C-alpha cells in the first residue's frame, strides 16, 4: 500500500499558484499581447487549493494530539505571512500612489485598509488611496478568509461525526450536497461572487476530506477513478451545473498527488507557494502601473514579473515564514 506521506503536494501547490498567477497576469497587465493568458483556469486553481487543504488539514487534525496544538500549527502557517503582505502593501504602495505621502498616510482609507485586511475582511476595504486607480490592491486575498474558516471548521466537523465514526462519510456527503445547492443556486441567479464564498467553496474542501478518509480505497482504485472523474467533469461542463465535478476534481488532483513518483521531492528547497500566491497580485499591478507591460516588450516583462514573484516567494519562505513553523 502506498505511503500517504510520499506525495506530490509541493508540486501541485506550485502548479496551482502558477495557474493563478498566469491568469491574473492576463487580466491585470492590461496588455493586448498577454490577453491569451486569461484562459488560464484561475477558478479551478483556486478551488483545487481548497481540495488540497481539505485532505491535508483533515490529516493534520487527526494526527495532532490536542486542539491547541492544531490551532497553533494552522495559525503559524497562514497568519504571519498574511500580515506581512498587508503591512508591506500598506507601506510600500505609497510609492506608487497618485496622492502625496502626507495625504496617503493621513487618509482614513489607509487605516481602514490595514485594519480590515489584517482581520481577513478584505472585502470591507480592498483599496488604498491613489493606488492602482483605486482598484483592488490584492484580489488574491479573498480566499484566505475562507481558508481560515475551514481551519476552524474541521474540529467542528470532527465533533459532529467523531474521529472514528462509521457515519462520517455520510455526514460529509450531506454537507457536500448542501454546499452544492448553495453554489448552484447563486450561480444560476448570476451572483457568482457570492457563490464562491464559504458555503459554496465547502464542497471542494469536503472533496479533499472524503479522499483522505477513504485513502486506501482511493489508492487501490485510483486509475479507474481518475478515468471516471475526467468523464464526469465533462458531463457537468456540458450541462453547466456543478453536481459531481467538485468531488471528481478532488479525485483528479489527488491522483496527481499520488502518481508520478519523480515529483516526490519537488519541495526539498522550501515551500514557496504561499508567498507566491499572496504577493503576486500587487506585484503584477505595480508592473502595470509603472507601464512596464505597455512601454516594453510585454512577453519579456511578463517573464521578469514572474521571476520577481518567485524571488519574493523564496525570500518570504526563507527569511520569514519558516521561522514560525
Return the pLDDT at 137.
Answer: 97
Count CA within 13 A, CB hemisphere, residue 287.
31
Query: Distance (Å, rounded) from C-alpha 167 to C-alpha 151?
Result: 21
Least confident of 84-88, 133-137, 308-312: 133-137
Return the pLDDT at 103.
Answer: 97
Q: What is the pLDDT of residues 208-264, one digit of tens each?
A: 999 999 999 999 999 999 999 998 888 877 777 787 889 999 999 999 999 988 888
Band (pLDDT 50/70/90 cuts) for residue 168 is confident
Pick 237 or 27 by higher pLDDT. 27
Return the pLDDT at 244.
Answer: 83
For the residues of 96-133, what is the DSSP string, one character each?
Answer: G-SS-HHHHHH-HHHHHHHHHHHTT-GGG----TTSGG
Return the pLDDT at 233.
Answer: 85
Whole-Å CA distances, 26 to 23, 32, 89, 152, 302: 5, 9, 22, 34, 9
Q: What is the pLDDT of residues 90-149, one digit of tens each?
A: 999 999 999 999 999 999 999 999 999 999 999 999 999 999 998 899 999 999 999 999
Q: What is the pLDDT of residues 260-301, one digit of tens each?
A: 888 888 877 788 999 999 999 999 999 999 999 999 999 999
Q: ∠ CA(207), CA(140), CA(297), 5° rounding?
A: 125
Q: How large is the angle between the packed helices 245-257 and 168-188, nearest 10 degrees? A: 120
Amino acid at each position: 500500500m502506498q505511503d500517504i506521506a510520499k506525495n506530490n503536494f509541493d508540486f501541485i501547490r506550485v502548479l496551482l499558484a502558477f495557474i493563478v498567477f498566469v491568469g491574473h497576469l492576463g487580466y491585470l497587465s492590461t496588455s493586448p499581447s498577454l490577453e491569451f493568458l486569461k484562459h488560464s483556469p484561475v477558478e479551478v486553481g483556486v478551488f483545487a487549493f481548497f481540495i488540497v487543504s481539505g485532505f491535508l488539514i483533515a490529516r493534520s487534525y487527526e494526527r495532532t494530539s490536542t486542539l491547541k496544538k492544531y490551532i497553533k500549527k494552522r495559525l503559524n502557517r497562514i497568519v504571519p505571512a498574511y500580515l506581512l503582505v498587508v503591512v508591506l502593501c500598506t507601506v510600500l504602495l505609497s510609492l506608487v500612489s497618485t496622492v502625496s505621502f502626507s495625504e496617503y498616510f493621513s487618509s482614513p482609507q489607509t487605516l481602514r485598509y490595514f485594519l480590515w485586511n489584517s482581520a481577513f475582511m478584505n472585502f470591507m476595504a480592498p483599496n488604498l488611496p491613489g493606488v492602482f486607480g483605486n482598484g483592488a490592491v490584492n484580489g488574491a486575498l479573498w480566499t484566505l478568509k475562507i481558508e481560515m474558516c475551514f481551519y476552524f471548521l474541521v474540529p467542528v466537523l470532527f465533533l459532529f461525526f467523531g474521529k472514528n465514526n462509521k457515519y462520517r462519510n455520510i455526514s460529509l456527503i450531506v454537507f457536500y450536497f448542501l454546499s452544492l445547492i448553495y453554489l448552484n443556486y447563486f450561480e444560476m441567479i448570476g451572483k457568482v461572487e457570492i457563490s464562491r464564498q464559504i458555503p459554496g467553496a465547502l464542497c471542494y474542501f469536503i472533496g479533499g476530506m472524503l479522499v483522505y478518509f477513504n485513502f486506501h480505497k482511493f489508492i487501490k482504485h485510483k486509475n479507474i477513478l481518475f478515468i471516471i472523474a475526467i468523464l464526469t467533469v465533462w458531463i457537468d461542463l456540458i450541462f453547466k451545473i456543478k453536481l459531481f465535478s467538485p468531488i471528481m476534481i478532488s479525485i483528479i488532483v489527488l491522483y496527481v498527488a499520488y502518481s508520478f513518483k519523480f515529483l516526490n521531492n519537488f519541495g526539498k528547497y522550501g515551500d514557496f507557494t504561499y508567498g507566491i500566491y499572496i504577493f503576486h497580485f500587487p506585484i503584477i499591478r505595480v508592473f502595470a502601473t509603472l507601464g512596464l507591460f505597455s512601454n516594453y516588450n510585454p512577453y519579456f516583462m511578463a517573464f521578469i514579473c514572474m521571476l520577481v514573484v518567485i524571488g519574493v516567494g523564496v525570500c518570504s519562505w526563507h527569511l520569514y515564514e519558516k521561522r514560525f513553523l
